[in-house]
Structure 1
């Protein structure tokens, strides 16, 4: 099961966070800082899977963004690694260039993530099905 998804810039600032298991607000900042420190300062040659407390971290680095996913011990790391790549592909397909317009359209990024993951489980990976609600919203907005 997926516990959380974080999107973080190179400076360690969280740009997106989605929790699928409850974490107290006071503990989120400490958790995010610890997780980000554990992933951002790893060498490129090191594995993208990290054991962390009672769960695992899977992360990928794209341009100036890191996407970190916290998962339970029973979750398949490779499938989550591919899910992260699929998420970035969908973002790239919708926004054309992932990095710059994302920060100004976080509501749409949340919609994309919600179409892919619900209650900590992957429910959709097909790009066109994931983007269908946003296409409908865009059509309504332009009419």
Structure 2
């Protein structure tokens, strides 16, 4: 990923994204590096324990398995991204914050229930921001526009499905 910050360019490779609540329940995962299902379960268990047991005044970076876990808590949710040891942690905190801001714009003060009942939208928003573990879109307006376009496509498809169902119902009477 290339991000222009001032006069220099940052490159970060995110291995995975995990959202967990304070009780350790997983609300969203996105894997950009290959992990078996068994490894994924172990990663989630280890990182959940590590992040949830840290004090609120400690830094938001943790060395873990030769990688670095960067996390940030928003209300009852922990947003965690894992990066290479030599990548820029502050940049990843900005990416996390960017994702939360876009979620807030879409849901209007996002909460855990929004992610539970609209998980497909949370994934779609994440996919608009990150592709293959790299930042794709840094503009909140562009992401909001793309999400609105997708919402209107879904509504149009629902209307078309409804009208087709009505036609079939009329024909079978």
- TM-score range for the pair, normalised by the shorter chain length: over 0.9
1:82-131 CA distance string (max 9 Å, x none): 11011101000000021132211111111111111111111111111112
Counterpart residue number, 1:105: 118
> Could you tell me how far apart the structure 2 residues matched to 1:89 and 1:124 are?
13
Contact 1:95 1:102 in 2 (8 A): no
TM-score (norm 2): 0.79
Matches within 5 A, 1:38-53: 38-53=50-65
Matches within 5 A, 1:48-63: 48-63=60-75
Return the offset for 1:142: 4.1
- Of structures 1 and 2, the larger Rg is shown by 2
> Could you tell me how far apart the structure 2 residues matched to 1:55 and 1:136 are?
37
Secondary structure of 2:73 counterpart: strand
The alignment covers a number of residue pairs equal to: 143
Worse overlay, 120-129 or 51-60? 120-129
> Could you tell me how far apart the structure 2 residues matched to 1:134 and 1:119 are?
19
Secondary structure of 2:117 counterpart: coil
Secondary structure of 1:103 counterpart: helix
Runs of 5+ consecutive residues of structure 2 not aligned to the other structure: 1-12, 157-173
RMSD of equivalent CA atoms: 1.1
> Could you tell me how far apart the structure 1 residues matched to 2:58 and 2:100 are?
21
Matches within 5 A, 1:14-25: 14-25=26-37
> Could you tell me how far apart the structure 2 residues matched to 1:101 and 1:121 are?
25
TM-score (norm 1): 0.95
> Could you tell me how far apart the structure 2 residues matched to 1:23 and 1:141 are?
32
